Amino acid sequence: MADNKSFAEVKNKILSAHKNAAPEDKLGFYNTWAENYEQDVAVLDYRAPLLAAECIASFFKGDKGRAIILDVACGTGLVSAHLRRMGFCQFVGVDGSEGMLDLARKTGLYQELKQCMLGQDTLPVQNESYDIVVIVGALSVGQVPVGVIRELWQATKPGGYVCMTTRGNADNQDYKKEMERMVRMMEEEKRWSRVTVNEVEKWERAVSEHESGYIPGTVYLYQRTY
């Protein structure tokens, strides 16, 4: 029963955040949520950070110890923590929330952390600087616009990888279609090539009022061609 109660509490917390569409409200929510974020996403059985890290580690052919990774919307550092256990060790993190960045700083994972409101501020990194660029969780309705994907590509070295995730639940279908149109357009422009796209049935526990059980999600991995 304790698990059911904690899940209900987490669900209500996330639903309350979705009611606040203004960026400053969202930022305030994430600043407040930071301290309990990892415990709460554990209750949700949120698997995206691990799935993205496994995808990157499976396909990356270079020297993991020398690869420089840009972790966009890094939060408290869940993705980089998984990648560190898989042999990667050079991380730069970007997030909009100072509360999240404070906790990411305490992990000791990152050589550098930068504050940036994705979609409002330009990504504060040099073009063509990273072997791997990863964004987990932020590409979804009410979070960041799909146009940010071009900035991810710009930050990646030619031959480097971009790993992205999005949810596949009903509320995110329109966003997912728009995102996939952008991804295909960039493929047609020969900016990158598809490495793999993994559809996952059990992504996380559903929190919307009209869904139950688990929602699906997708991991996308692309390699920059020029």
pTM: 0.95
Q: What is the pLDDT of residue 24?
A: 81
Q: Where are the domains of the chain?
A: 46-224
In the chain, % helix, strand, coil (3-state, to 5) comes to 40, 25, 30
Give the number of other CB atoms < 10 A from CB of residue 142. 13
pLDDT 10s digits, 183-204: 999 999 999 999 999 999 999 9
3-state secondary structure of 166: strand
Percent of the chain whose predicted confidence (pLDDT) is above 70: 96
Tokens of 81: 């923590």
pLDDT band at 15 (very low <50, low <70, confident <90, very high): confident
> Crossing angle, helix 48-59 and helix 78-85, to 10 degrees?
40
pLDDT at position 1 is 41
Superfamily of domain 46-224, CATH level 4: Vaccinia Virus protein VP39 (3.40.50.150)
Per-residue model confidence as pLDDT tens digits over 109-149: 999 999 999 999 999 999 999 999 999 999 999 899 999 99
Does 2 have pLDDT greater than 60? Answer: no
Rounded CA separation 37/165 (Å): 19
E runs forming strands in 153-208: 156-167, 192-205
